[in-house]
């Protein structure tokens, strides 16, 4: 099973996907293309904890979950 979350991280749109227990992060371009971003997210982080995790690693609350 996989899940995904779109985030606005300081004005940059990112997609965070969980596939087979591992998180992958992509930068989303305006044309729909995505580029893999090397952000290490522990497998123990739940989908509901992603915004707080990104706030913590960037050391300020500026991350918003997109619909």
List, as one string, the DSSP characters of 2-64.
EEEEEEEETTEEEEEEEETTEEEEEEEPTTS-EEEE-----TT--GGGHHHHHHHHHTSS-EE
pLDDT in tens, 27-58: 999 998 999 999 999 999 999 999 999 999 88
Q: What six digits make up the tokens of 51?
A: 């915004």
pLDDT in tens, 3-21: 899 999 989 999 999 988 8
Residue ranges per domain, the chain? 2-66
Q: How many residues does the chain have?
A: 67
Type and span of the H or E element at 67: none
């Amino acid at each position: 099973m996989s899940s995904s979350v779109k985030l606005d991280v300081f004005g940059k749109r990112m997609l965070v996907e969980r596939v087979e227990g591992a998180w992958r992060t992509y930068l989303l371009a305006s044309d729909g293309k995505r580029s893999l971003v090397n952000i290490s997210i522990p497998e123990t982080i739940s989908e509901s904890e992603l915004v707080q995790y990104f706030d913590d690693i960037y050391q300020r609350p500026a991350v918003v979950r997109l619909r």
